[in-house]
Amino acid sequence: MNGQTPPDMHLVQGTTRIATIVGHPVVQVKLPGLLNRHLQQQGADVAMVPVDVPPEGLAAFFRLMRHGRNLIGSVLTIPHKQAAVAHLDVLSDRARALGAVNVVRRANDGTLHGDHVDGFSFLAAARAHGFHPRGRSAVVVGIGGAGSAIAYALCEIGVARLCLLGRNAERTRAFGAKLQAWFPAVSLAYVCTDLAGVDFLAQATPVGMRAGDPLPLPAALLDTLRAETLVADVITAPAVTPLLELAQARGCRTQAGVEMARASMAFLGGILGLMPAVDPAAFVAAPLPSSTI
């Protein structure tokens, strides 16, 4: 290091307010690097720190958050988005509907407020590729914390046809029944035999994070993929998953997980008080700029 501080290293000191990103594992997360560079450029005395907390330690982590007066909140990643709900005091309407959160803000009195903006962050990234959900067709693979949020956001913004593909058929149909009740105009399906005509394919499982993982969909189904489909993956590492590599070979536009991380900064930063507040649903629902259409 030659005694020199790297130019993008955030100097943490006694006055620094701390936000965390909590998961198990956390080696793959990109948000701390993105957010800390932004905060440093703004001269803000705030830093985001990744914390690897196994499921059995989650309750203790939230007890610490309640009492840590320089802790402003936390972003939640796998596998904690659903389990975190039981430890919070206040939930947004969408977090309550989803039964999951991806961001928790600590109020000055120590109460913990949860929200879920993963779905809108994912769709905000898709805007850059010219995708708007209204009137379109989408497939979501995986109905966990991220997948359910993406499906909810697609329905809220006006997707016409949505297919949910989850490993647990009973759980997937139960969530679909809730979506149908909330958004009766959406045509829902649970089986997909042909990806031709699908505008948006969202991969929201951990499949693809580890070397040797299989593709998240059967090869026969992926053979029906057409170049008109935008294929998006929540996984941030590797940057190009096997699914995205296959989609690129077929001429599809692709959206990597890091794009969602970048798009989430404004939403998460607003909720945590690090940036001006942005309404995620209003941002995604706005008409596309003419340059992306």
Report the catalytic residues: 81
Beta bridge partners, 47, equal 18
Nearest to 33, CA basis, from 250, 188, 237, 222: 237
Task: Look up residue 20 and give its amino acid.
Answer: T
Write down the residue that tokens 């196994």 correspond to.
54
CA of 31: how far to CAs of 48, 93, 241, 272, in Å? 8, 25, 18, 14
CA of 34: how far to CAs of 10, 48, 110, 261, in Å? 12, 10, 27, 8
Residues in the chain: 293
| Tokens found for residue 79 | 């596998």
Alpha carbons 34 and 31: distance in angstroms, whole number = 5
Nearest to 200, CA basis, from 237, 226, 181: 226
Alpha carbons 38 and 229: distance in angstroms, whole number = 32
Q: How many CB atoms lie within 10 A of CB 275?
A: 18
Alpha carbons 55 and 151: distance in angstroms, whole number = 25
Task: Look up residue 167 and give its amino acid.
Answer: R
